[in-house]
Structure 1
Amino acid sequence: MPRERVARFGEYVEIVDRLLSHEETSFQGRFYQVDAAALRPRPVQSPRPPIMIAAMGAVMLGHAARHADIWNSISFAKTFEAQIDETRQRVATIDARCAAIGRDPATLRRSYLMLDPTARSSGGMIKYYESEETCRRMVEQVIALGISEVAFYYPMLDEQVPMFERIARYVLPALRAAHG
């Protein structure tokens, strides 16, 4: 069933991409068929609104390479170091998928959702909110992978909210200034 869901998604996103990009489109796939379909009203953004695809597996990374303007990734590995290694492998895979279809990998924006898999078992304490320096160091490692957009979970614990606010006020602007 998961393979079928991924295959269905591939057809679905192709249809959505075509509907957003063309006045009219037809598609004959294994799961979906559309004939002279049109989207009304047309999108205001040109050539179309950006498509973001969250992808981790090889086939989904291929769909992202073909159709996404923004690729979003997350890792559920147990340590941050393992998350970075896993994401590094995904970056290499999506770059190869882009190259295989003639797409410059640099044209694909990349985003990453920071996850602390130990937060629930540690009573809600999110590691990247330990200190400004911890957060900066972790985000720097993500940026080094070619990721330009980083998302964070909101703190689970009230006592981490002030650090969250300091990171938003000081760390993230400094990272933006340093990395563009």
Structure 2
Amino acid sequence: MSLRLSTVILPHRRWHEGGRAAWTRAEQLGFHAAYTYDHLSWRSFRDGPWFGALPTLTAAAAATGRLRLGTLVTSPNFRHPVTLAKELISLDDISGGRITLGIGAGGTGFDATALGQEPWIPRERADRFGEFVLLLHRLLTEDSVSYQGDFYSAHEARTIPGCVQRPRLPFAVAATGPRGLALAARYGQAWVTTGDPKLYENGTPEQSVQALRRQAEKLADVCAANGRDVAELDRILLTGFTPDRNRPLRSLDAFVDFAGRHQELGFTEIVIHWPIPDSDFAAEEKVFERIAMEALAQLR
């Protein structure tokens, strides 16, 4: 399967002060998709500008015509399946069926406490995530849903007319553990990983490749156990969180080498961060654009 190249554009700029330009330029550069993070605030950007993911994607949908759009990733930390489903159906309609929902269990960052709750322990996050995905799947594929779970409920929730994409818009499930991988195997059209976080500080690129290989093998095993061919799932690597960090964006050759090694692992899509000066995602814009326009031709 050929490799696709996508980007993630953080929602930290006002729409009319560089925000819109990034999304339209992403389409001009030929990226397969452009995603954004679905957070209320995030890491070092917490005390600076940060805009909502779904309104940003709605504006991006109106400003572009070909580019796929989505979240990497949405989580239960501050979302409810009923209201999220309604917004996603609207966004899929506005975009003409170009939306992918990246979805994950969430973590213990700022989103975990922004609504005044205590951070959930890992088991509760996994429990909530399972219900969240199940209910969201039903809401996006059925006209009327009633559901009573341990964490989420719906009473005759209407989601008419449903998604433009049928039977619903695709889920890209972020997961590394057995329960998350099982959700990817059952409900996902794609699987997302950022690598092994334990290797970020002191690991090597070679160790990271081995860790990603093990993750991909686990996904294949879980898919087989669920009666699904792993080849049916796209496999997405969100870069910037492996020991390589942003080094693959230093030159076209460096990126081609990085992408080739991960394509050999079975990844079908690599996502790189839109450059942000003076941040963990700093990169030369000219090099970034050259990678977008030329890298895949060298890998084919």
TM-score scaled by length of structure 2:
0.52
Letter in 1 for 2:291: I
Distance 1:174 1:118 in 2: 24
Matches within 5 A, 1:161-172: 161-172=285-296
Question: Which is further off, 161-170 or 35-44?
Answer: 35-44
Residues 1:44 and 1:10: Cα distance change in structure 2 (over 3 Å): same
Distance 2:266 2:214 in 1: 12
Distance 2:244 2:255 in 1: 15
Asked if the contact 1:114–1:152 (Cα under 8 Å) also holds between the matched residues in 2, the reply is yes
Structure 1 residues without counterparts, runs of 5 or longer = 121-125
Q: What is the match of residue 47 of structure 1? A: 167
1:68 deviation in Å? 1.0
Structure 2 residues without counterparts, runs of 5 or longer = 1-120
1:119 deviation in Å? 7.8
Deviations 1:38-79 (A, max 9, x none): 313321111111111111222211111111111111023232
Letter in 2 for 1:146: G
Distance 2:263 2:152 in 1: 38
> What secondary structure does 2:284 align onto?
helix
Letter in 1 for 2:240: L
Asked whether 1:32 is paired with 2:181, we answer no
Q: What is the match of residue 150 of structure 1? A: 270
1:163 deviation in Å? 1.6
2:251 pairs with 131, 135, 139, which one?
131
Deviations 1:139-171 (A, max 9, x none): 011111111110012335576222212211211
Query: Relative to total residues, which structure has the larger helix share, 1 or 2?
Result: 1
Larger RCO of the pair (alpha carbons < 8 Å, separation 6+): 2
> What secondary structure does 1:52 align onto?
strand
1:36 deviation in Å? 4.0
